[in-house]
A and B are shown apart, each in its own frame.
Chain A
Amino acid sequence: MEIIKTLLSRRRFLQASGTAGAVGAAALGSGGVLTALKPVRAQAASPPTYHATKITKSICHQCPARCGIDVYTTDGRVHAIYGSSEHPISNGKLCPKGPLGTYILYDPDRFKGPMKRTNPQKGRDIDPGFVPISWEEALDTVAGRLNTLRDKGESHRFALCFGRGWGASCAGLLGPFGKLYGSQNVPIGHSSMCSDGSMLSKAATDGNASYSAYDYRNANMLLMFGVGFLEAFRPYNNNMQVWGYIRGERVPKTRITAVDVHLNTTLAGADRALLIKPGTDGALALAIAHVILTEGLWERPFVGDFKDGVNRFKTGQHVDPGTFEEKWVKGLIEWWNIELKDRTPEWAAEITTLYERDILATAREFGSTRPAIALFERGVHAHSNGILNGMAVHSLNALVGSLFAKGGLMYQMGPSYGAMPVKEDDFMDDYAKSGPWKAQPRIDLQGHEDGYLIAKNMLQEVGPNSLAGKPYKLDTVMFYLTNPIWTAPDGRAWEDALKEVFVVDTSPFPGETAMFADLILPDHTYLERLQDAPTYPFQGWPMAQLRVPAIKPLYDTKYFGDTLIEIGKRIKGRTGEYYQALGDSENVIRHLAKGFETDPGDNGVDSFDSWKEKGVWYKKNYKWRQIGGAFFEWDGKGYNTPMTAEQVKKELFKTDSGRFEIRSGKLEHHADWIAAKTGRDKDKLMFPHWEEPQHPGGGDLYMVTPKAAMHAEGRGANLPVAIANFQPVLGGRGTVYIEINPKTARERGIADGDLVRLKSHLGSIEGHCRFFEGCRPDTVVFPMENGHWAMGRWAKGRSPGHCGEITVNQSDRVTGQCSYYTTKVSIERA
């Protein structure tokens, strides 16, 4: 009961120490004690005004889940946000960030209109001297620079980098802009700093460069590798709804094993929690695969079988490929022979530091429970060996046959959008088609032999490359919903880079990158925007949300989509004509909605107006399903139409073989390059296999920096209510600690609560530590999101500082995934 007593008093607003009745209840009625207290002053109740409340259907902006929200506005004030009951992701609910949107709208630190820099000097803590300008001047300035660059044949020196793109009316406009204006650097997305490692692992094996959609509700087991299912994994709100169902209502209860590098609520709530050594998830997955094969637990109708039905998978023993008939997988026997045959639980125990019995039990449970899903994200692949780890985990889904199965995983279908008002291909001038820009590589060296040949984007390289002038220096860079000075590893390199570049930021809020801007073209905040957003991978069936403004913009801001269109109109020649024809972002959205006229949603949405009223269009049928090793298409009533192998290849397994490639054709095509850049064995690099991760930084402890549930994308650091509850387990009330295992701390002479310094060879940050037995002794753990220096008054300088300052910029050479979770640091008393 002591623990309850401590807890119940710990997180009060303040302790009751200042009680007038400190002498206790005996003082009651003695008269004198109460005289010092506040005089009673009647407060009149304001009349209730609920009758005037308007509810707008919109969507949340604080993570990629895209929850439908009901925004309550009374007398022109937005005062409440709840989940929309009719929205398939939110179903009336919210995560802890959802209700905080009003803070974002009324954030006192917002930019209130376009501004330009007057101080030519740039640097951290140097006042940019922003002064307000008109939108005309702002847009003319950008377009003027862009036209000059184009006239000089240097249009590639303009880059537009974006983070959280939402839909066709913002991020979707960027590709055509790059094509028409003439820059391969428009756009560069932040996916490599997000979770490209999982997209590329999937592309390598099943041919879909995408996140997965999941049918959790019908699964009987979930095996989670580094996903933060109850903290951050998209769609977080819906994940929790799923959790309540599969753990609290469903019979049989879905079994959950969670693998992660620190103790979080997901691990606490799981049946089995495996606190694994960072970067070694691949070894665990290989051992699980080993057991599934040796114990004969694989899904034969999907995977195939030995021709005579006799299992020849015996630890350490070679298997004759001719004895096995593969069905929907490619390379299983080769994988066994080249890698898997020796990957025993005993071997993996050594690498992962887990107990052999836990590995074995996990493998048996996963191998024998159907349907089962192995899901993974950044914890697994944000390491130098990321592609290998990711492929190993994803291959488990193939072994148990959960791809496109009921209770399995699949890929997201897109919405039935109508065509854009005009086609950019009709507006290509000679410069766009064959100007000198065409001969240049991308600034991030994505797709280039010297850089990242196979990666999708390499935003983390843009700053450093421009600084080094390799391949060239940028002239002008524009940012949309990304703040790389803060989010990129080793942001100091970006600070130096952006000193020499003309920077345009479009965030509605101050931020580190904005402090290096020459122009601020502030966007509306999300409750003020009209913006489309097709769903992130969810349950596979198509859905498109619409963000509808709940209130007129509070300040002189402009929706980013319109800012871009307005700049486009000012570009000389055909480009300008294209944007004249495009009109504005609302016109784009109206054209998108035309697609619903012929394909109305399940909720009756069949036009722009009905979309706006309901906030979402969706059709709840996924088109394909794998049943017992055969594939079928939905015929309007059920999965009744059998698919040919060619159809499966076209729609589902988009690989050379049309099967799930454990032997990855995609990697094999680039075998020489991969071998040269990674030193991997040319015969092995196309298979999931074990490789020791490289941990830069020079320290002896893994730095683990999870995204906390309260981390509202881009803005969590300046939301006072989020700050008050940010780190629930050890912190709270505005404090965040560096978690450390007591043994690790004591060995270094560090006491609970000490001010400590974390160091890598890049620098150091300081904060207070707290002992936590839930920490692996070889880690230090603290949430990412602290230590902003320009995000706003509440974010400023929050301890324990920003992990990015000491995170080395290292990426997986194959996927381009930025390895955020792999730097090693040392700790000492400060």
Chain B
Amino acid sequence: MAKWGMVIDLDKCTGCQACTTACSMENNRLPGENWQDVLFYHEGTYPNVKLMWFPRPCMHCENPSCVSVCPTKATYKDPHGGFVLMDWNRCIGCKYCQVACPYGVRFYVDEKAPVQPDIRTVFPSADGRVWDPPYRGPQDDPGRGIGIQPHGVVSKCTFCYHRVSKAPAGIADLDEDIPALKEYVPACVRTCAPKARFFGDLDNPESTVNKLIADKSGVRLKDETGNKPQVYYLSGGAAASVPSLRSMTPSDPA
């Protein structure tokens, strides 16, 4: 069985946030409930300023701290594929997992919405879910945290389980540029225009994701936590796209 992993090449990432919006729409997220987010930061003083960023989905940790703190086993590691999923029928909304996750990728939305007016009042749900937009996707699997959540539970990136789990067995990589595979590729990966995101089987030594990690020395975010993320970042430099020739100080020799 595959152990799915994602590779994000920061040398190619443009910080466009298409991954974020594609995830939002594919997975019917509320505005601001960014299962996938792009985090921007900057350093230095004018004119010697560096602007940097990195995209961040759930890491689908091999050793997920969210799972170990969950009192009801609502969040769990799926042995078939290595997804870390939510069972909304078990989740009691205690948010321990949200505190325990070192990567800030878990969401509890039964609070004031960051974008007002609250879209939940515009598209209310008739059957106990948080909302029901007219463009809701057809997938619905509350036992895996897929579809629109009921009230009072935590939500998170599923690694697009509803797509990936249907992929033919034994596939090394889910590459959106291969027409026969594109429907199985996670939304954020499929949409990424510069092809900064890759998705494949970390247990398959032949997979592109493994080659990329090896060739470009993939790193895991906050590896010191011991969570062992299944998401790897590639970077030729210290951050997203590192400018090498920018102005330093007026006194610098030409």
Contact = CB atoms under 8 A, between A and B. Distances in A.
A241 interface: yes
A40 B90 contact: yes
Nearest to A95: B18
B22 A728 contact: no
A21 B247 contact: no
B20 to A, nearest CB: 6
Given A94-B193, A271-B243, A38 B93 contact: yes
Interface string B1-20: 00000000101101111101
A725 B21 contact: yes
A243 interface: yes
A96 B222 CA distance: 27
Interface in B175-200: 176-177, 179, 182, 187, 190-196
Contacts of A44: 142
Interface stretch (A368-376, A413-421, A767-775): A767-775
Contacts of B90: 40
B135 A102 contact: yes
Given A4-B221, A8-B39, A358-B247, A99 B254 contact: no
Interface in B47-93: 47, 49-53, 56, 69, 71-72, 88-93
B135 to A, nearest CB: 4
A106 interface: yes
A93 interface: yes
Contact of A271 (B46, B115, B245): B245
B203 interface: no
Interface stretch (A261-269, A401-409, A631-639): A261-269
Contact of A357 (B69, B119, B252): B252
B40 A728 contact: yes
Contacts of A734: 31-32, 114-116
Nearest to A25: B69
A705 interface: no
A794 B115 contact: yes
B122 interface: yes
Contact of B22 (A99, A264, A275): A99
A16 interface: yes
A29 interface: yes
B24 A16 contact: no
Interface string A41-61: 111111011100100000000
Contact of A96 (B16, B112, B138): B16
A14 B33 CA distance: 9
B138 A20 contact: no
Nearest to A81: B25
Interface in A95-119: 95-100, 102-103, 105-106, 108
A773 B195 contact: no
Contact of A50 (B112, B138, B250): B138
Interface string A125-146: 0000000000000000000000
Contact of B250 (A82, A85, A355): A355
Given A99-B26, A357-B252, A79 B241 contact: no
B134 interface: yes
Contacts of B134: 77, 106
A807 B111 CA distance: 38
Interface string B107-121: 111011011110100
B193 A93 contact: yes
A80 B190 contact: no
Given A74-B138, A244-B193, A20 B177 contact: no
B114 A13 contact: yes
B135 A99 contact: no
Contacts of A78: 135
A42 B116 CA distance: 30
B226 interface: no
Nearest to A266: B14
A263 B51 contact: yes
A721 B135 contact: no
A220 to B, nearest CB: 15
A7 B41 contact: yes
A5 B34 CA distance: 17
Interface string B240-254: 110111110010111
B147 interface: yes
A106 B190 contact: no
B206 interface: no
Interface in A726-763: 728-730, 733-734, 741, 743
Nearest to A43: B142
Nearest to B102: A8
B95 interface: yes
A3 B54 CA distance: 12
Contacts of B20: 96, 725
A241 B222 contact: no
User: Which interface residue of A38, A53, A102, A241 has the most chain B CB atoms within 10 A?
Assistant: A38
A243 B14 contact: yes
A721 B25 contact: yes
Contact of B192 (A19, A93, A710): A93
A330 B51 CA distance: 42
B42 A96 contact: no
A259 to B, nearest CB: 12
Interface in A353-371: 354-358, 360-361
A82 B190 contact: yes
Contacts of A92: 176-177, 182, 190
Interface in B140-155: 140-143, 147, 150-153
B104 A12 contact: yes
Contact of A248 (B115, B196, B243): B196
A184 B47 CA distance: 50
A730 B49 CA distance: 14
A105 B9 contact: no
Contacts of B196: 244, 248
A10 B115 CA distance: 15
A105 B135 CA distance: 9
Nearest to A710: B17
A721 B21 contact: yes
A230 B115 contact: no
Contact of B93 (A37, A103, A775): A37
B117 A794 contact: yes
Contacts of B108: 13-14, 16, 18
A470 interface: no
Contacts of A720: 31, 115, 119
B171 interface: no
Contacts of A722: 21
Given A38-B153, A244-B195, A248-B12, A741 B46 contact: yes
A723 to B, nearest CB: 5
Interface string B147-178: 10011110000000000000000000000110
Given A270-B243, A729-B51, 11 more contacts: A16-B99, A16-B108, A29-B71, A46-B147, A82-B182, A94-B191, A230-B16, A244-B195, A247-B241, A248-B195, A272-B245
18 contacts: A11-B39, A12-B104, A14-B111, A16-B99, A19-B94, A40-B72, A42-B89, A75-B138, A79-B137, A95-B193, A230-B14, A265-B14, A267-B51, A275-B47, A355-B250, A734-B32, A734-B115, A734-B116
Closest 9 CB pairs of A and B: A244-B194, A357-B254, A38-B152, A240-B193, A248-B12, A102-B135, A8-B104, A720-B31, A269-B241
Interface of A: 1, 3-4, 7-14, 16, 18-21, 25, 28-29, 33-34, 37-38, 40-46, 48-50, 53, 74-75, 77-83, 85, 91-100, 102-103, 105-106, 108, 230, 237-238, 240-241, 243-245, 247-248, 263-265, 267-275, 354-358, 360-361, 709-710, 720-725, 728-730, 733-734, 741, 743, 772-777, 793-794
